[in-house]
Structure 1
């Protein structure tokens, strides 16, 4: 299979990078410009999203379609954290504590939404889309 931008895996790789970049810039905007400190679970999600923006950028630049080998685990683990955070946020997983640390910032405020959607749900959707796109890259490169 060709490893040029004309490869059928090029578009999903580029879209995965753009999603990771948008999520990273959005998190930085919310934290640094809006002054909203992330909760503990949001920090863990950022730990997995921020490297994806860099790794996928390098993969796009180098047309490295084998990136799914090391980007997919980051996306899946980040997605699992976001899933747990979303389940806590919507009280599906009952706990005596709030979804975010009682002593620190909370994602349950109305300020912690974008377009009316809570940040944990947006993170889950982003990780899920990146995972799907990386699986498409994998499928198209293994054919």
Structure 2
């Protein structure tokens, strides 16, 4: 199984998870969540496309999309963790729709997904010595 297959799984689970939270559970995504979706959804479609066409991964595209999403999700997580973080976001960015184990929130899940995609795509493979 190639690296982009794992990245496809991560991007697809993140995409379906965000759709589940908004369309099934009816949680309203904040402005920062929308921006994270803008960068995650195309990754799922892109990885599916390259798997179906057997093309090489465009690392620049992945780096830009996942990198931008990673930065936005990092900012969102930091806003959640600092006192009075709502002063920096006026669109209900700090509503914790989920809070698994007392710290796992939707922005943290997004941050983890973008981190995994970047690690999967850009950390060099180990070679046998």
TM category (shorter chain) comes to 0.7 to 0.9
User: 1:43-98: per-residue Cα shift (whole Å, max 9, x none)?
Assistant: 11001001011011111122222332312210001000000111111007x65616
**Residues 114, 19 of structure 1: CA spacing in aligned structure 2 closer, same or farther, 3 A cutoff?**
farther
The alignment's TM-score, normalised by the length of structure 2, stands at: 0.83
Please point out which of 79, 82, 89 is paired with 1:91.
82
Would the aligned equivalents of 1:45 and 1:82 in 2 still touch at CA under 8 Å?
Answer: yes
Where does structure 1 lack aligned partners over 5 or more consecutive residues? 1-9
Would the aligned equivalents of 2:11 and 2:43 in 1 still touch at CA under 8 Å?
Answer: yes
The alignment's TM-score, normalised by the length of structure 1, stands at: 0.76
What displacement does 1:11 show?
2.2
Would the aligned equivalents of 1:20 and 1:49 in 2 still touch at CA under 8 Å?
Answer: yes
**Residues 35, 105 of structure 1: CA spacing in aligned structure 2 closer, same or farther, 3 A cutoff?**
farther
Where does structure 2 lack aligned partners over 5 or more consecutive residues? none
Report the RMSD for the aligned CA atoms in angstroms: 2.2
CA distance in 2: counterparts of 1:127 and 1:25, whole angstroms: 14
**Residues 114, 63 of structure 1: CA spacing in aligned structure 2 closer, same or farther, 3 A cutoff?**
farther
Would the aligned equivalents of 1:23 and 1:49 in 2 still touch at CA under 8 Å?
Answer: yes
The alignment status of 1:32 with 2:23, answered yes or no, reads: yes
Moved beyond 3 Å, runs of 4+: 104-107, 113-116
CA distance in 1: counterparts of 2:56 and 2:100, whole angstroms: 32
